[in-house]
Structure 1
Amino acid sequence: MTTAHRHTRELRAVARHLGRRRFLTATGAAAALAFAVNLPAAGTAAAAELDTGKLAEDPFTLGVASGDPLPGSVLLWTRLAPRPYEPGGGLPSARVQVGWEVAHDARFTRVARRGHITAHPEFDHSVHVDVTGLDPDRVYHYRFRAGRWTSPVGRTRTAPRAGARISDLKLAAVSCQAYHDGYFTAYRHLADEDLDAVFHLGDYLYEYAVNAVGGARNYTDRRLPAHFNRETVTLEDYRLRYALYRSDPDLAAAHAAHPFVVTWDDHETENNYAGETPENDVPPEEFLLRRAAAYRAYWENQPLRRPQRPAGPDMRLYRRLRFGRLAQFDVLDTRQYRSDQAYGDGWQTPGPESEDPARTMTGETQERWLLDGWRASDAVWNVVPQQVTFARRRNLPTPDFKLSMDSWDGYPASRQRILDGAQAAGVDNLVVLTGDVHVGYAFDLKEDFDDPSSRTVGTEFVATSVSSGKDGAEKPANWDNLTRANPHMRFYDGRRGYVTVTLTSERARADFRTVSAVTTPGAPVSTAASFVTEAGNPGLEQV
């Protein structure tokens, strides 16, 4: 065992030890976080059962969601919170029986499946229903009931059979929704799109404080509780922050309209953390406790299945989905297993530290899983939803350029192993979906980024933010430098919105959808640009 591995194991032991000490006398963050690591599993606590007939307020204030569609099943989610801005959602520490229904029609005249599930206080009264026995490639409607209350109706769909030949598939990619930076207007438009699935690529929430007027939202008709005006650190902090975000009507509308496939980036826990290394100088065991709290709250508030449920500070989020023979989606986690950033977190001159072949963005196990999955794939399109910019991105068109150490540019050997693995596996149509940077990009992925004439081996579409960065601009201040420094960059736009991608057996088309403002609600949406890449002939052409 290496010294690094031994140190990591010792840190985890300390974190779990602190988690078992349910009655710490110490003060500070470690004491506050200890409960997050080792909460009892649902059903192990002796919580009483709540009489749902006594529910005096609507418990479905956070809406409904579905996710991770499979050919015969889909995951349904809701969380009971009659008073969402209060700890525990305004419910006592008691079990609640929740009914659910899945139907072929929105009026529920033809019910396909129904049942009951227990909402446990240990999981903040969230429920995750893995509905099986459904038909493949079919639209369904669903709802929940608790006492006399009925949830909003959600719409979802199952995936086609693994070997099915389907004509087309339309998805959307979204990322980065800082509540305090503006309204989630893009989600209102996204809810109206005709989509098979939405891929959320990270920064679903931000750990930063949200003041009483909602930051840039500048509420004049209400005030947010003071407990939102601090950084999220404890499990209760993260749970309350999800309640704030989930109560947004535009986000709720998008979740109710489409199944989501989610993965995280950094802000769901802490800005720019890398593996077990925090952003700031806090004790490593304390950060693991914070990570455990963040991971648990993430699972509680997302439409994820039981295999994704965290164990302390660890959570297996990378996973694979298939849509017939048209597309395979390999969803990555580029935050939990990565090496610490070289030379700090920002834009730096590359050097021996960043170019060390031992550095990894994915960790060895996830990298092997990805490459093995490609070797077994018979899909027309191999799509990789992940977090940070994959293509090389120089900041200046001069020899003194710098690169982002938090993106794949800070891990070039890791990126090259991925590209070499795709070529060795015979992946002809590689599409990378990315978030993080609050702008929209379209890149040709080059065999040699130093040679613009080298072979194009894939395509990257970067979804701009939903709200992070406030309103943005069509041409950010560095637009000229970045476009001249990176000839493989085919598009760059700094406004808010999302990207839709339509796949057929012949081509992939990306439409970059932008809104004019997010600091005021209700802005219209338009298409900033559209690009296509042909199957078997990588390279972007503007429509």
Structure 2
Amino acid sequence: MAPQSPSTPDRDHDAQLLAAARRLNRRRFLTVTGAAAALAFATNLPAAGTAAAAELDPRRITENPFTTGVASGDPLPSSVLLWTRLAPKLFEPGNGMPAKLVPVRWELSHDERFTRVVRRGTEIAHPEFNHTVHVEVKGLDADRPYYYRFRTGDWISPVGRTRTAPAGGARVGEMRLAVVSCQAYHDGYFTPYTHLAGEDVDAVFHLGDYLYEYAVTAVGGKRAYTDRRLPALFNRETVTLEDYRLRYALYKSDPDLMAAHAAHPFVVTWDDHETENNYAGGTPENDVPPEEFLVRRASAYRAYWENQPLRRPQRPTGPDMRLHRRLHWGRLAQFDVLDTRQYRTDQANGDGWKSPSPESTAESMTLPGMEQERWLTDGWKASRAQWNVVPQQVTFARRNNPDGSDTLSMDSWDGYPASRERLLAGAETAGVENLVVLTGDVHVAYALDIKRDPADPDSRTVGTEFVATSVASGADGAARPANHAAYLARNPHLKHYDGRRGYVKVTLDSGAARGDYRSVDYVTRPGAPLVQGPSLVSEAGNPGLTPA
């Protein structure tokens, strides 16, 4: 890891946080409840307004502060969430902003020229939240698009387009959404987002690995810049709050990603790399003291909330953040957004491909945590939606290893079979007929039938899983990876497999769920055209994928 930069307020916060954690007795720390641990940490990461009372005159901002664009998220029938960040010096600690409060005006309009403004107001950008802005606009009409923008001083942000969800009991003919995941900046350009920005979709579901903790070289890794150089502060792994904030600045400055955020509301959830590779709950990837890892987790979670279009209930407290939540699209769809990192038990036998063992098959093993399992199954019991959709992170359906062995991925649901069985039984008890799971993580595109007995390919099909490939992670892929034929042969419930970068567009209506796969042939240089992949359909009441 590269040498640390000189002391800054954010690094001082991290040091205070770690000191507080270390003052806890080791035994007490390992047994303390999440809420109590959160309370211990929260005292060292101040809330908005506690560290700065002075207000900056926005006219003193002499450089464009809207360098990471705008975003919106989590559409509700009468409300939208708008986001931006003030960062005139994008790649410097503090982003060129003084530690002062900054008033930011916002407008919401029926038209992109803002001749029919329906709401306007002022939100304070707090230095404690890295001058990010989260505006919850309420009292809006259901099921319609809106345009929005921000102003501070003499500067005006780019214009974003968002929308509200249909009313709760509304009969909706159709919903179109896109599924994305895994955008390693150092592996290539975010070209799929340019194409996604032009798609006609109601929302984008980002299912994790929005950023990676790994170092990014001066030339941007495999982007191989020849006309620019990135600062050395990116050429180290993210550990501190300042590290994570700067890494979001880098990622969110990507023009393709900014275009997609401006075009569509996002619904986000994390996987592992927003914090650290393959961590499980409070267990880090490497042999790091638990209190030190939870300090890192607190910093990562705080930076995640700051930089995503998330509402106030998702704001973290120390190392804890309730990210799982439920959204509706009229009577057509219920979305139960999962968090499969924060509450999981540690992977059995390590986090790679291993043979099942008494440890991995134990009833105590849980991927989303027992409380979240109950939350999901209770939500299914109460659902009146045509489609019950579960956006989450890691592959849900069985994946038999194409090498012919009995090994399974211990980091996916295959490594937590008891947890998966509880959910499948819960869906059956709740009478869920139209189950759709949306997945990221694996850097390839899959379309899978979900079997009632995952180990038996002849058992009843109870749902459909659409797995989105990565936006950039893994660099240039191939339409048919080397193990393509073997994978399909060992997994007859696998109906599509593609190793290129891209996304999947999912259309829901009263009769079917349709997945349209989109890809690009390369990301290590810009400008790849969009490739239209196959389309697969699962009929309502008759789960099982067939070509459209």
Structure 1 length-normalised TM:
0.94
Q: CA deviation at 1:53?
A: 1.0
* Compared CA separation, residues 145 and 111, structure 1 to 2 (3 A): same
2: CA distance, partners of 1:247 / 1:485 = 42
Deviates more, 1:428-437 or 1:82-91: 82-91
Q: CA deviation at 1:126?
A: 0.2
Give the equivalent residue in structure 2 for 1:28.
Answer: none
Q: Could you tell me which runs of 5 or more consecutive residues in structure 2 were left unpaired when the two chains were aligned.
A: 1-25
Return the letter of the residue paired with 1:214: G
Return the letter of the residue paired with 2:179: A
**Corresponding position: 1:113 with 2:119:** yes
> Residues 141-165 of structure 1: CA distance to partner in whole angstroms, max 9, x if unpaired?
0000001100000000000001000
> Residues 88-137 of structure 1: CA distance to partner in whole angstroms, max 9, x if unpaired?
11111111000000000000000010000000000000010000011000
Query: How large is the RMSD of aligned CA atoms in angstroms?
Result: 1.5
Q: Is the 8 A contact 2:42 2:317 kept in 1?
A: no
Q: CA deviation at 1:345?
A: 0.7
Give the equivalent residue in structure 2 for 1:332.
Answer: 338
Q: Is the 8 A contact 1:396 1:402 kept in 2?
A: no
SS of residue matched to 1:395:
coil
Return the letter of the residue paired with 2:397: A
Output aligned runs, 1:23-42, within 5 Å: 38-42=44-48
Give the equivalent residue in structure 2 for 1:33.
Answer: none
Give the equivalent residue in structure 2 for 1:195.
Answer: 201
Give the equivalent residue in structure 1 for 2:3.
Answer: none
* Compared CA separation, residues 109 and 11, structure 1 to 2 (3 A): closer
Q: CA deviation at 1:351?
A: 1.3
Return the letter of the residue paired with 1:308: Q
* Compared CA separation, residues 427 and 183, structure 1 to 2 (3 A): same
Q: CA deviation at 1:454?
A: 1.7
* Compared CA separation, residues 90 and 325, structure 1 to 2 (3 A): same
Q: Is the 8 A contact 1:502 1:510 kept in 2?
A: yes
* Compared CA separation, residues 14 and 285, structure 1 to 2 (3 A): farther
Return the letter of the residue paired with 1:206: Y
Q: Is the 8 A contact 1:78 1:127 kept in 2?
A: yes
Give the equivalent residue in structure 2 for 1:89.
Answer: 95
Q: CA deviation at 1:492?
A: 0.5
Q: Is the 8 A contact 1:380 1:505 kept in 2?
A: yes
Give the equivalent residue in structure 2 for 1:451.
Answer: 456
Out of 358, 375, 378, the position equivalent to 2:384 is: 378
Give the equivalent residue in structure 1 for 2:17.
Answer: none
Q: Could you tell me which runs of 5 or more consecutive residues in structure 1 were left unpaired when the two chains were aligned.
A: 21-37
2: CA distance, partners of 1:231 / 1:451 = 42
Out of 219, 239, 248, the position equivalent to 1:213 is: 219
Give the equivalent residue in structure 1 for 2:31.
Answer: 8
2: CA distance, partners of 1:121 / 1:10 = 30
* Compared CA separation, residues 285 and 14, structure 1 to 2 (3 A): farther
Give the equivalent residue in structure 1 for 2:70.
Answer: 64
> Residues 332-357 of structure 1: CA distance to partner in whole angstroms, max 9, x if unpaired?
00000000001001000111111001
1: CA distance, partners of 2:81 / 2:151 = 17
Out of 469, 475, 478, the position equivalent to 2:480 is: 475
Give the equivalent residue in structure 2 for 1:267.
Answer: 273
> Residues 172-229 of structure 1: CA distance to partner in whole angstroms, max 9, x if unpaired?
0000000000000000000000000000000000000000000000000000000000
1: CA distance, partners of 2:177 / 2:481 = 27
Q: CA deviation at 1:7?
A: 2.5
* Compared CA separation, residues 158 and 16, structure 1 to 2 (3 A): closer
Q: CA deviation at 1:481?
A: 2.1
* Compared CA separation, residues 74 and 185, structure 1 to 2 (3 A): same
Q: CA deviation at 1:321?
A: 0.3
1: CA distance, partners of 2:163 / 2:101 = 29
**Corresponding position: 1:342 with 2:363:** no
2: CA distance, partners of 1:329 / 1:10 = 29
Out of 312, 316, 322, the position equivalent to 1:316 is: 322
Return the letter of the residue paired with 1:518: V
Count of equivalent residues: 523
Deviates more, 1:345-354 or 1:257-266: 345-354
**Corresponding position: 1:298 with 2:304:** yes
2: CA distance, partners of 1:525 / 1:17 = 49
Q: Is the 8 A contact 2:386 2:510 kept in 1?
A: yes
2: CA distance, partners of 1:397 / 1:224 = 41
SS of residue matched to 1:473:
coil
Q: Is the 8 A contact 1:328 1:377 kept in 2?
A: yes
Return the letter of the residue paired with 2:345: S
Q: Is the 8 A contact 1:12 1:288 kept in 2?
A: no
Out of 149, 162, 174, the position equivalent to 2:168 is: 162
The runs of 4+ residues in structure 1 deviating greater than 2 Å are: 3-8, 10-20, 44-47, 449-453
1: CA distance, partners of 2:216 / 2:105 = 34
Q: CA deviation at 1:47?
A: 3.3
Q: CA deviation at 1:450?
A: 3.2
2: CA distance, partners of 1:465 / 1:395 = 20
**Corresponding position: 1:140 with 2:140:** no
> Residues 21-48 of structure 1: CA distance to partner in whole angstroms, max 9, x if unpaired?
xxxxxxxxxxxxxxxxx22111222331
> Residues 250-276 of structure 1: CA distance to partner in whole angstroms, max 9, x if unpaired?
000000000000000000000000000
2: CA distance, partners of 1:452 / 1:12 = 42
2: CA distance, partners of 1:185 / 1:452 = 36
Q: Is the 8 A contact 1:507 1:533 kept in 2?
A: yes
SS of residue matched to 1:433:
strand
> Residues 349-378 of structure 1: CA distance to partner in whole angstroms, max 9, x if unpaired?
111111001100011111111011100000
Give the equivalent residue in structure 2 for 1:529.
Answer: 534
Output aligned runs, 1:357-396, within 5 Å: 357-396=363-402
Q: Is the 8 A contact 1:76 1:303 kept in 2?
A: yes
Give the equivalent residue in structure 2 for 1:250.
Answer: 256
2: CA distance, partners of 1:275 / 1:172 = 28
* Compared CA separation, residues 445 and 108, structure 1 to 2 (3 A): same
Q: Is the 8 A contact 2:29 2:37 kept in 1?
A: no
1: CA distance, partners of 2:161 / 2:315 = 24
Q: Is the 8 A contact 1:177 1:204 kept in 2?
A: yes
Q: Is the 8 A contact 2:178 2:205 kept in 1?
A: yes
Structure 2 length-normalised TM:
0.93
Q: CA deviation at 1:437?
A: 0.2
* Compared CA separation, residues 280 and 9, structure 1 to 2 (3 A): same
Out of 515, 519, 522, the position equivalent to 1:510 is: 515
Return the letter of the residue paired with 2:305: W
Q: Is the 8 A contact 1:12 1:285 kept in 2?
A: no
Deviates more, 1:298-307 or 1:479-488: 479-488
SS of residue matched to 2:499:
strand
Deviates more, 1:402-411 or 1:521-530: 521-530
Q: CA deviation at 1:485?
A: 1.1
Return the letter of the residue paired with 1:444: D
Q: CA deviation at 1:515?
A: 0.4
**Corresponding position: 1:413 with 2:436:** no
Identity across aligned pairs (percent)? 72
2: CA distance, partners of 1:466 / 1:410 = 25
* Compared CA separation, residues 282 and 10, structure 1 to 2 (3 A): farther
2: CA distance, partners of 1:238 / 1:440 = 28
Q: CA deviation at 1:13?
A: 6.3
Deviates more, 1:9-18 or 1:485-494: 9-18
Return the letter of the residue paired with 2:546: E
2: CA distance, partners of 1:188 / 1:366 = 35
Return the letter of the residue paired with 1:201: L
